[in-house]
Structure 1
Amino acid sequence: MICVLEFYAGLGGLQAACSTAATVVQAVDINSHARNVYAANFATPYTIKEIETLTASWITGTGANTWWLSPPCQPFTRRGAQADLNDSRTRSLLHLVHRIPECLPQHIFLENVLGFQSSATCEVLLKTLNDHHYRYQWFQVCPSELGWPNRRPRIYLVATQDCPSGLPGSLTPRENIYSKCVADLLEDEANERQELFLADYELNFLSGMDRIEDPKDRNSCTACFGSSYGKSYLHAGSVLRVGNRYRRFSPREVARLMGFPDSYQLLPSLSNRQLWKLLGNSLSLPAVQWVLRHSFS
């Protein structure tokens, strides 16, 4: 049985993506809003704690044999400063890398942006894995490659101590599983929510926004929804044309575009902006499910 310790758990993207073959036994993050959403959906213990303060004894005490890591991507994103090891947001990941020799989990999964592979932080991680006889492989997956109408290109590192033979160096999807279009994932009532529509002054930024003109067009694909959706006008996600107006996607629509089922609860006590931020920091469930299904196959 794969028992997972979900670091950087957020609102539970991994838990939502997991099949019966894996069980999340502990979640860790620092965001109380994320924990509240998580608790509305899952019974798994969720600890609010800085990852840099976690000891090896606490980690092993959870009973997990598998780590899932989704560390902050800002130190590695191509549009950012790429501060890498010099970015304070990298410290938590380095702390966990330094705990690997003490804890030796059977499996380690890591999700991040494509720039992570060429980072000095990645070099530190891979050296640690090699020094302790892990075998690993890379997956580069975007949900749009799976027929899901959202672009969220990510790399996934999968490392294990249990695989006796060599693993392929990398895998990229070559299968259209879902054949969904944007219209399939829209809320009927969202067009009545005036707070979603762009204000007149925001139309000045429309030319720089990713726009979905026809949601029924199967060639249309929404941009990656980031944590700044609803705040930033560039590189944060798509807007949808409704008649001669444009609106943002509702939190439920963004959740659907990330692969969350409608049974997944989004707390009504949280604002659109708070929910967009949580979702923008989460995972693409179709991509994660593909990775889990193909790991070590």
Structure 2
Amino acid sequence: MPVRAIEFYSGIGGLHLALRRSRVACSLVKAFDWDQTACQVYAANYDAKLIIRRDISTLSAVDLLYLHADVWLLSPPCQPYTILNTAARGEADPRAKSFLHLINHVLPDLTAQDLQPRYILIENVASFQDSMTRRHLVDSLQRLGYVVAEFLLTPIQFGIPNSRLRYYLLAKLSPLRFSGLQESHFDRVHETIPGTASDIPAHSLHEYLDPAHEDEIPIRHKIHDRVLSKWGRLFDIVLPSSQRTCCFTRGYTQLVERAGSILQANEDLDTTEVFDRFLEAQSRGAEDAVRILDQLHLRYFTPSELLKIFRFEEPESNQEFLWPPNISLKSQYRLIGNSVNVEVVRRLIDYLFDGDEFTT
């Protein structure tokens, strides 16, 4: 029989998709999220009966008992721990409440009835590693009988041109063990998955771009003159031949710094040289100085391109991720930026179950 999984903070279903693509004989039986838009997108791409819009802090062990879940997949809110949030307060942040509720109350209550999940996967921002919540989480899981393995991984290690460093925690209920890890290694945060190649050369962005000529790119993906004039030099600019991009966040297209890379479609020109000419013209007060940048063909990555980078869509596959017609472009970028890299999580799920009876 396949194992049964619950997805918490399901977003647009990245954890679900990673599980589906893994080698594990496992079925997802329920998904929970409070974001109404995310739930609409989830329902459009997966079985709509799976998703429940609910405040996770209101869940109890009684609510989960009937699901008989062997696996918990969680991607709790990262805002309490992100370095981009100058007011980040860790577990004191109200947005951390629901996750702490699951760890402090729901999981112990299930354990007391011998109905706890045997496998757990948690994803968060890299800076979660330095939080008090992480230490509390690890201590709590070990006290409840779990063996814990922690990782800091980025998609670029697996050939995907995106440097999105993330923290991952895997937990197995004792006496299950992790292959390739000795007990003395459990207090370390690992930068590779044992037995998994993590030095794969990154593919170029060419493989992830929409098959369209520059003049076919909708105006909504081009960068406003005002933004280019004032902040253009702060963008991380990449070429179609590049083998990396910066981490894309929920603020992509709304923020300039540390929100994600932009694409220079014209590879025939030197970016620095063109920007130097632009800045020189701008310093002379030339009203049309920004037109100098037109020749670079700068634009934002489209949602479909980001879905390929996040591996919701496989570059070599014709399977298309669906957006309900009422989902705005801003919401699409926000939901993608809040999500996980499906391929990285798939590899972790395979490792979580490695050596156990449920892999195919």
Length-normalised TM-score, structure 1: 0.93
Q: CA deviation at 1:122?
A: 1.5
Does the 8 Å CA contact 1:75/1:84 hold for their aligned counterparts? yes
Bigger Cα displacement from structure 2, 176-185 vs 23-32: 176-185
Aligned residue identity for 2:224: A
Amino acid at match of 2:207: D
Indicate whether 1:202 and 2:227 are aligned.
Answer: yes
- Per-residue CA deviation, residues 250-283 of structure 1 (Å, 9 max, x unaligned), is 1101111101124322334322111111111111
Match of 1:251 among 271, 286, 303: 303
* TM-align CA RMSD: 1.8
Give me the whole-angstrom Cα distance separating, in 1, the residues matched to 2:255 and 2:236.
Answer: 12
1:291 aligns to what? 348
Deviation at 1:115, TM superposition (A): 1.5
Equivalent residue, structure 1, for 2:244: 221
Tell me the equivalent position of 2:59.
Answer: 54
Q: Is the 8 A contact 1:252 1:266 kept in 2?
A: no
Determine which of 276, 283, 287 is the counterpart of 2:333.
Answer: 276
In structure 1, how many angstroms separate the alpha carbons of the residues matched to 2:201 and 2:18?
15
Alignment partners' CA distance in 2, 1:161 and 1:178: 35
The count of aligned residue pairs is 294
2:91 counterpart residue number: 85
Aligned-partner residue type, residue 224 of structure 1:
C
For residue 188 of structure 1, give the secondary structure of its aligned residue in structure 2.
Answer: coil
Q: Deviations over 1:137-166 (max 9, x none)?
A: 012210011110111111110111144445
Separation in structure 1 between the aligned mates of residue 211 and residue 227 of structure 2, nearest angstrom: 24
Asked if the contact 1:31/1:48 (under 8 Å) is kept, the reply is yes
> Does residue 65 of the first structure (1) align with residue 70 of the second (2)?
yes
Aligned with residue 102 of structure 1, among 85, 92, 109: 109
1:180 is aligned to 2:180: no
Q: CA deviation at 1:107?
A: 1.4
The 1:190–1:172 alpha-carbon spacing in structure 2 relative to 1, beyond 3 Å, is farther
Is the contact between residue 122 and residue 170 of structure 2 (CA under 8 Å) also seen in structure 1? yes
Distance 2:323 2:14 in 1: 13
The within-5 A match list for 1:145-164 is 145-164=157-176
Task: After TM superposition, give the deviation of residue 94 of structure 1 in Å.
Answer: 0.6
**2:212 counterpart SS class:** helix
Could you say which residue in structure 2 is the equivalent of 1:24? 28
Q: C-alpha displacement at 1:23, in angstroms?
A: 1.9
**1:143 has 2:147 as partner:** no
**Greater relative contact order, per chain length (Cα 8 Å cut-off, separation 6+):** 2
With over 3 angstroms needed to count, the CA separation of the structure-2 counterparts of 1:211 and 1:57, relative to structure 1, is same
Query: Which protein shows a greater Rg?
Result: 2
Q: Unaligned regions of 5+ residues in structure 2, if any?
A: 111-115, 267-295, 314-318, 355-360
Aligned residue number for residue 283 of structure 2: none
The CA deviation at 1:200 is 0.6
Aligned twin of 2:273: none
TM-score normalised by length of structure 2 = 0.77
Is residue 2:236 matched to residue 1:230? Answer: no
Identity %: 31
CA contact (8 A) 1:139 1:291 kept: no
Following TM superposition, where does structure 1 have runs of at least 4 consecutive aligned residues deviating by more than 3 angstroms?
A: 162-168, 176-179
Deviations 1:27-63 (A, max 9, x none): 0001122112111211151110101111111022222
Letter in 1 for 2:146: Y
Greater shift in the superposed pair: 114-123 or 251-260: 114-123
